[in-house]
Structure 1
Amino acid sequence: MLDAAARKLIDPPLNAMGVALAARGLSADAVTLIGLVLGLTSALFIAFGFPAWALLPLLASRLADGLDGAIARATRPSDFGGYLDITSDFLFYGAVPFAFVLLDPAQNAVAGAFLLTSFYFNGTSFLGYAILAEKRGIATSAQGAKSLYYSNGLLEGTETIVFFVLLCLLPAMFPLLAFIFGTLCFATATLRILAARTIFASKDSP
């Protein structure tokens, strides 16, 4: 819900940094992998009992996640780069809740399982929508130039990062926050399915 507004603020500085990094020979794929390593490092900090320390690599990983696209736009975007980016994002999104389960299984296991289930459902609705949008030649620029269609919703990348930051700052509240965010993920996916039914069914009509 907030990604389109956030992009208006962050894209200009990210694009400038992307041009500078591309001129120094840094590839978009390399930055994607650096961001993934940083994201998984933040998950390790959480799992070993240092959620506050996880904030720095977590935020750095999200900066890298924005820079890889900026570098790609400054050079030549590739389908594989987009695929690597979304796959890395989904691994990171799953690793953080799993880390909180490892941190305190007795308290966090059920809420973590609920949250991961909601991520799985929401991610599937997102990728399925993208496939059908590509098949029908539907494009959007609301989320910036992307290798695949990014459908909007109640919860997007910006909200997820804010949620992860809150978890790191308030780890004792993981169960409550996870159930709230997971419920909103289920709502996001459900609304996306309803939107898909309207858009794609109308295009299937004779």
Structure 2
Amino acid sequence: MFDARLRPLIDPPLNAIGRALASRGVTPDAVTMAGLAFGLLAAVSVALGAPGWALVPLLLSRLMDGLDGAVARATRPSDFGGYLDLVSDFAFYGAVPLGFAILDPEANAVAAAFLIWTFYINGASFLGFAAQAAKRGMETAAQGKKSLYYSAGLLEGTETIVFFVLLCLLPGWFATLAWGFGVLCLFTAVARVLNARELFR
């Protein structure tokens, strides 16, 4: 919901850093993999009982997620790079709830399973929309220049980052937050499906 509004603020500094990294030979794929490594480290930190410490690698992971595109724009964007970025994002999104389930299975496992299920549905609605949009030659730059069509929704990258930060700061509230965010994920998916019904008939 807030991604498009934040783009004019975050893109200029990200692009500047991206150009600097590209000039030193850093590749977009390397930045993507660094972001995934930080994200998985955050999930492991949660699972090992240190959700507060997980904030550092979690935020570094999301910084890398923004920088890989900036490095790509400074060099040569590739379809594989966009694909790798998307796979890495979904791996990260699933790993954090899994970490909380491992941390306290009795309190968190069901809520984590529900949250991952809603991520799965929301992801399917997003990817299916992108596939159909590509067939029709549709393009958008509302969330920045991307390798595939990014359909807007109630929950986007900004909201998900804020949610994960809250989970790390308030681990005892994981189940409540997960149920609430999961419901919003379902709402986002349903809204996207209804939008697709109007556009793709």
Cα distance in 1 for residues equivalent to 2:8 and 2:42: 27
Report whether the alignment pairs 1:188 with 2:188: yes
Q: Distance in 2 between matches of 1:17 and 1:119?
A: 31
Offset, 1:136: 0.3
Q: Which amino acid aligns with 1:54?
A: A
Matches within 5 A, 1:1-206: 1-201=1-201
Regions of 4+ moved over 6 Å: none
Q: Distance in 1 between matches of 2:151 and 2:114?
A: 23
1:6 CA drift (Å): 1.5
What is the aligned-residue RMSD (CA, Å)? 0.4
Deviation string 1:129-160 (CA, Å, 9 cap, x unpaired) is: 00000000000010111101100000001100
Aligned length: 201
Q: Unaligned regions of 5+ residues in structure 2, if any?
A: none
d(CA) in 2 for partners of 1:146, 1:34: 19
- Inter-partner Cα distance in structure 2 for 1:75 and 1:81: 12
2:42 maps to a residue whose letter is S
Q: Give the Å deviation of 1:114.
A: 0.7
Give distance in 2, aligned partners of 1:6 and 1:130.
22
How far apart, in 2, do the equivalents of 1:193 and 1:23 lie? 42
What fraction of aligned residue pairs are identical, expressed as a percent? 67
Deviation (angstroms), 1:7: 1.2
| Residue in 2 that maps onto 1:204 | none
Post-superposition Cα deviations, 1:160-205, rounded to whole Å, max 9, x if no partner, equal: 000000000000000100000000000000000000000111xxxx
